[in-house]
Amino acid sequence: MLPRIETLIDLALDEDAAFGDVTSESIFAPEHTSNAHINAVQELTVCGIEVARRVFHRVDPALEVKVTCHDGEQVKKGQTVLRASGSTISLLLAERTALNFLQRLSGVATLSRRFADAARRTGTGVRVVDTRKTTPGWRALEKYAVRCGGCHNHRLSLGEHVLIKDNHIAAVGSIRQAVTLARAAAPHGAKIEVEAASLAEVRAAIKAGAEIILLDNMSPRQIKSAVSLIDRVAMVEVSGGVSLETLADYALPGVDVISVGALTHSAPAVDLSMTLTASRK
Amino acid sequence: MLPRIETLIDLALDEDAAFGDVTSESIFAPEHTSNAHINAVQELTVCGIEVARRVFHRVDPALEVKVTCHDGEQVKKGQTVLRASGSTISLLLAERTALNFLQRLSGVATLSRRFADAARRTGTGVRVVDTRKTTPGWRALEKYAVRCGGCHNHRLSLGEHVLIKDNHIAAVGSIRQAVTLARAAAPHGAKIEVEAASLAEVRAAIKAGAEIILLDNMSPRQIKSAVSLIDRVAMVEVSGGVSLETLADYALPGVDVISVGALTHSAPAVDLSMTLTASRK
Amino acid sequence: MLPRIETLIDLALDEDAAFGDVTSESIFAPEHTSNAHINAVQELTVCGIEVARRVFHRVDPALEVKVTCHDGEQVKKGQTVLRASGSTISLLLAERTALNFLQRLSGVATLSRRFADAARRTGTGVRVVDTRKTTPGWRALEKYAVRCGGCHNHRLSLGEHVLIKDNHIAAVGSIRQAVTLARAAAPHGAKIEVEAASLAEVRAAIKAGAEIILLDNMSPRQIKSAVSLIDRVAMVEVSGGVSLETLADYALPGVDVISVGALTHSAPAVDLSMTLTASRK
Amino acid sequence: MLPRIETLIDLALDEDAAFGDVTSESIFAPEHTSNAHINAVQELTVCGIEVARRVFHRVDPALEVKVTCHDGEQVKKGQTVLRASGSTISLLLAERTALNFLQRLSGVATLSRRFADAARRTGTGVRVVDTRKTTPGWRALEKYAVRCGGCHNHRLSLGEHVLIKDNHIAAVGSIRQAVTLARAAAPHGAKIEVEAASLAEVRAAIKAGAEIILLDNMSPRQIKSAVSLIDRVAMVEVSGGVSLETLADYALPGVDVISVGALTHSAPAVDLSMTLTASRK
Amino acid sequence: MLPRIETLIDLALDEDAAFGDVTSESIFAPEHTSNAHINAVQELTVCGIEVARRVFHRVDPALEVKVTCHDGEQVKKGQTVLRASGSTISLLLAERTALNFLQRLSGVATLSRRFADAARRTGTGVRVVDTRKTTPGWRALEKYAVRCGGCHNHRLSLGEHVLIKDNHIAAVGSIRQAVTLARAAAPHGAKIEVEAASLAEVRAAIKAGAEIILLDNMSPRQIKSAVSLIDRVAMVEVSGGVSLETLADYALPGVDVISVGALTHSAPAVDLSMTLTASRK
Amino acid sequence: MLPRIETLIDLALDEDAAFGDVTSESIFAPEHTSNAHINAVQELTVCGIEVARRVFHRVDPALEVKVTCHDGEQVKKGQTVLRASGSTISLLLAERTALNFLQRLSGVATLSRRFADAARRTGTGVRVVDTRKTTPGWRALEKYAVRCGGCHNHRLSLGEHVLIKDNHIAAVGSIRQAVTLARAAAPHGAKIEVEAASLAEVRAAIKAGAEIILLDNMSPRQIKSAVSLIDRVAMVEVSGGVSLETLADYALPGVDVISVGALTHSAPAVDLSMTLTASRK
């Protein structure tokens, strides 16, 4: 497991159980064992199942954990996604942390799945992608959940992909100048994307040689005009308040990508719960 | 600033800017300066303003940052919440991380404010409280945002407050037994709370001497009966799917506390943005 | 194992062996193996045995470690508490770190056991509890050692349990005011405790509705008066220089809790040592 | 400040205040200010004063902190060692952590001072030194406190100084063999010390060319014989249960060093406290 | 300063000075002050000057540090690059760590400068770029030093830029298949690069739509043929043992990029030293 | 494995794969498996083989890893040093990080081996030792690699061994004074070394009782005079720009140690590579 995910698991256990679990430790002997099931309380696209497994093992390497689904799988209401058995105190100590990872990551995957399905229904081949509007500390996990839900990732960080926005253009004077500077300095493997809020800016971006043009907060009508101006010399990205309801209006022919911040910043949690049963051993 | 918050800021900067910002570093000279404003794009209850300030200083201690509101303040659409000036590269590098903290914490505070207002309107003195269903790594910050929105906190971690749930009771055999064990072992400062899903369990919890009784997923009618059984010998908490719409139905006389997981796990982000203007210096 | 304990183990190994063990690495070949025993050099209440096991495994997962007692157990002089076998270099590298954890935690447990026994002999049911006067970095471990010795924990941190002290009262003006503010803001699960240094303050605390009253540095005679004033409407805690010798004088009927900082801040280490024998394999 | 000390401060604040201070935050407004004094409640050798200062600044860089003594200074009962002023909430949040560092480090320094004074009174020039029996995580701080109290340090870690003990000798077969191997492999700057429990071993150590000979658990009479055998060809260290009371018996002419584990593992805490007064500003 | 660089500074100080500096602390009083100069002992391209400044401040925030050059500057033999004044103990404690950063980063920058100059002299506009063959922990710093020396960066990590190598092609069966899968799954902002070791593979890469073709270990003659096959439909990268001596042979017209692992993995350190002078204050 | 090495492995994986490996994850299914071999591309002295093994297991504990050589072994061109099998995605994700450790540590060991061989050929018994001029974060690993190559270590850190240099002497006034202060304060186990740049300083160092005298940047002729002055009352260390070519000129009779900074700061990487083959399972 990548080190950054372990860091997040450790932070989570530390904030919930730095001093252990007073309730369970008062009630159960260390040798008391149980079986636990984590079930989906609603239909959902599961994500985070290996993280949950790792939470149980981090708390107690002696727990036996069996994963019964895989990330990205569509899970029915009531379906078991993970079984664990061993020390009752360990199972209860890990419960909430494991569920907190699952409910959030599956929440992102479930919303992404709905967007991916909506995109597929448009038949235009458009991709729905996420943004950098992620929960601090969770970038890699949330971007992974987006992929598990069938959507795609936009740039991961500030480091590689060049995205020239209104603030850059205003400060440097012109789109042409910004693109020229970026091309000279940025790695040869970095694509250069330019944000455009008007058709004039679209024209400037084309002329400057942008490889991707981001149409920012344009209406479907404006997008149509922009797409025909661009005429396939650059990739077309649409951004700005697109919802599940309005996606089809923006997924016009020639639009390659629609970016949706809500995939990561406003996905509601989905509901999963853990149940203990007596251990037969 | 408490160490744990610094850890989260560092994780966030690291995942967004471990290799710097290729766009801004290509376009701007290190000595280029600007002024930045962070504005609310919608009405909201602000939270995280000191965290945002710290993000700017973590990136570049030479930035001048001026906070123009305080956590918990109701902020109008278009209102500026923070101003920063200095190196353009530093401002743009910090931008998204600062906004990601603000949009999430203010999202939790804004939703909490709506619940707190709804609770106040019931006139019963009921408290709306959060749960442990928080984003891993964010427990302290999200619980703080809940308070900024006028709601209250339930237990912070597994360590102090005893909460005996269905899984404990099933495994140990009886509510009486669980309460007795917990009282003997738990710190004298810990209150003992028991979850009850039926009137029979409410009776058992009263008899066992529970200090707080959690009515789990009961209808308003059942709650009314439970409250009258409890008759003020214990505090009454209501839990289970209470929404802004149904809150008034559950805030019956005698109910002290209503816990709402959605405050932290499903609050949508609110919208804030940063604008650069030319620096006069 | 909880992440915070791993952090402490890593700090300990790092400060003792960041550059390895020049003595053993000079003398032994990597394939040289031995058996090691950790024995009690004096009678003691053992604590930290799982931490010690983890130290050996952290240094070298290939070591075989067998624990031959459990935390809280009363161990005789000469008794073996842990056996380990494998690489001689690994065993010697882990030795001092493992012993340093054991000697300190068992020291706290052994002193706590003496206090718990003294409390039991009073026949009043009084609890001896620790304080927040713990070794920085060791809070959770030392509070655990206190429990292993049969005493109990006072509040774990500043976060949950409200304790209003002289400094608070002086700054805010009155006990009543302090309690009122705390009750309004603190979580419903937090008990409110008030420190009182005189009978007048005891009366004020009672009137303000304190749930626990801490009698600070009172003589047994004053405590007797305070207990009769309080008359069971609040829990009674006695604090201030109580020793093993004077405990019985303070454990008056009606006193629920006696807090003793020395349990964690002044427990002398107990003596354990490790012996190597030739490995037969 | 060295990074490792910051780590320990962060661990300490995190375990005491990960969720803030519910008491003070309930009672005081953020803008409420006070003055704080940390005073010695008993006579002591102070140590940790810069660590305490850093604790206050870590919590709140806006606090003004003035140190009124220096590490190693002999401080009278009632003397103020540190003054801080600023936010009341910040002062109270830092209080216990700052005191916990001071009480422990000053405890070690105070005990070391008593040993150093006893050594000086023998007039033999003997040094009292510490051991590696330190509190895990605290090695550098405790060794520093020992020096502040006028004693000296033995080896800091396993890395540099070679110390061949009974376990090494038993496993490798002979003192000569162990010394030869160590000399060939260890850095040229490392002195080679050999533990001897009998006069025969002392002879073997001399013959092998040990630079320091550790007389382990010998009686004063045996030590006298050993010293005369060694006859200044090696430094002489005495080890094993030497107390303040018996120090003079062991500090025989020719003994260079007496090592005392209790300096770090069993020094009782000394008493310091913090008082708040109203802020005039 | 970005968190990752602070982490590396802390590791460096910790490994050199976890127990302080026994020499300086033995010789100088805490109040002894000096002036320090760091000078180049040879001509070099300086890099790491802000890291060095931060090392001094990390050790002691009271040191005054003045930087007298900027990263990427060509510095003459004997030229001062940084001045610091304050506590002598602090200056000496920071010295080696500051120099160790400077000598390595300036070493990478100095070698990169020679490659950049050689590339410029070819007049073909070819870029010399680094690889992922960096020192573990130093990726961001070494890539920055490469840019300071006038070369460019290849991909920063495994995360964004797709690079399909012989191992991928062998395992998946064909270049076409690998490119198709990558295009479907990778972010739209990621360029797709394919490694080719023969003209047949170059043809397959062109047909599959590779955006960059890496000519692996080809002779100048083979490169010439490959370039003419590619005919500007993809960017051309040359890789494999290119040295300062042979660079001109490989920088053929049509070659866009030459990657050189030695920039980061085999740059020799350059020589800088620190001198103390008496402080006049 | 010692905690500090794990920290470096985690930093390395994090900088290379914080967001996973877009190429392999696009191309291979999670269940696709392969066999991997790491081979030497040139003759070399291998070092870091256990670190490499740990890199594979850190990425994926299910990988089977078999080490086929040991650190310090002389490895032929083409020889396999490590085999791993399991998930293709995991193998490729770990590849570069494992190689980056191996190429650097083996580079240091290979250069050290050449120096050790050159020293042996002089027949004087002189030791070649490293310095503190190591890569920040890598001190322990690089010093270990030096030993694997048959050279020895100079002091590990500033903490134990006293080394009085020109800066110390200038600031304190005289060698005698510096040595006296150091002897009084430093641990009894620390040897005292003095740097001397002239025969006058050599005389002063002898008189002051230095245990090691470092002849700084002296010519072979000066060294000869210094050695005869010292006449075996102190160990003799030669330092300053000694290369493989000139080593024999400096390894004069009576010189005990020659220190060479280049062992760690300028060792070029050696070449190793990883090849995948289809997995038969």
How much is the ipTM here? 0.96
Q: What is the pLDDT of residues D229-266, one digit of tens each?
A: 999 999 999 999 899 999 999 999 999 999 999 999 99
Put simply, the answer to whether E107 touches F266 (Cβ < 8 Å) is: yes
- Is D96 assigned a catalytic role? yes
Residues on chain B touching D11 (C-beta within 8 angstroms): 3
How many residue pairs bridge chain A and chain B with CB atoms within 8 Å of each other?
Answer: 223
Residues on chain F touching B15 (C-beta within 8 angstroms): 18
Alpha helices (runs of H) in chain F, residue ranges in sequence order = 3-17, 22-27, 49-59, 88-122, 139-148, 166-172, 175-185, 199-208, 220-230, 247-250, 262-265
E152 near E129, Cβ under 8 Å? yes
Q: What residues of chain F score a pLDDT lower than 70?
A: 280-281
- Tell me, rounded to whole angstroms, the distance of Cα A227 from its chain centroid: 28
> Using 50, 70 and 90 to split pLDDT, how confident is the model at A160?
confident
% of residues, chain E, pLDDT over 90: 95
Burial B216-243 (b: 16+ CB within 10 A, else e): bebeeeebeebbeebeeebbbbbbbebe
Residues on chain F touching A144 (C-beta within 8 angstroms): 20
> Phi and psi for C275 in degrees, rounded to 5?
-120, 140
- AA letter at D107: G
Q: Which residue of E has its CA nearest to D6?
A: E10
F56 near F113, Cβ under 8 Å? no
User: Does the pLDDT at position C281 exceed 60?
Assistant: no
pLDDT of residue F1: 83
- Tell me, rounded to whole angstroms, the distance of Cα B99 from its chain centroid: 17
E208 near E184, Cβ under 8 Å? no
Question: End-to-end alpha-carbon separation of chain A, Å?
Answer: 31
> Average pLDDT over chain D, rounded to whole?
96
Task: Count other C-beta atoms under 10 Å from residue F221's C-beta.
Answer: 9
Mean pLDDT of E195-201: 97
User: Does the pLDDT at position E19 exceed 70?
Assistant: yes
Nearest to A160 among E156, E185, E256 (CB): E156
Q: Which of D193, D195, D237, D256 is catalytic?
A: D195
Which of the residues B4, B120, B141, B160 would you substitute to probe the C interface, choosing the one with the greatest number of C C-beta atoms within 10 Å? B160
> Using 50, 70 and 90 to split pLDDT, how confident is the model at C205?
very high
User: Does the pLDDT at position B207 exceed 90?
Assistant: yes
The residues of B annotated as belonging to the active site are: 96, 133, 165, 195, 216
pLDDT of residue D160: 85
Q: What is the pLDDT of residues A220-272, one digit of tens each?
A: 999 999 999 999 999 999 999 899 999 999 999 999 999 999 999 999 999 99
Put simply, the answer to whether B212 touches C191 (Cβ < 8 Å) is: no
Tokens standing for A168?
Answer: 């850059």
| CA of D278 vs chain C CAs: smallest distance (Å) | 7
Residues on chain F touching A143 (C-beta within 8 angstroms): 19
CA-closest candidate to residue A214, choices A141, A173, A162:
A162
Q: Which residue of D has its CA nearest to E17?
A: D2
- Is A96 assigned a catalytic role? yes
Helices A139-148 and B3-17, axial angle in degrees (round to 10): 60
A141 near F20, Cβ under 8 Å? no
pLDDT of residue B280: 60
- Is D165 assigned a catalytic role? yes
Q: Which residue of B has its CA nearest to D11?
A: B3
If DSSP codes are grouped into helix, strand and coil, which group holds residue A280?
coil
Put simply, the answer to whether D15 touches A18 (Cβ < 8 Å) is: yes
User: Does the pLDDT at position C132 exceed 80?
Assistant: yes
Q: What is the pLDDT of residues A78-126, one digit of tens each?
A: 999 999 999 999 999 999 999 999 999 999 999 999 999 999 999 999 9
Predicted TM-score (pTM) above 0.80 = yes
Q: Which residue of F has its CA nearest to B18?
A: F15
Chain D residues within 8 A (CB-CB) of chain B?
10-11, 13-14, 17-20, 58-59
- Is D66 assigned a catalytic role? no
Task: Count other C-beta atoms under 10 Å from residue E48's C-beta.
Answer: 29
> Average pLDDT over chain B, rounded to whole?
96
User: Does the pLDDT at position B281 exceed 60?
Assistant: no
CA C34/CA C17 separation, integer angstroms: 20
User: Does the pLDDT at position B171 exceed 90?
Assistant: no
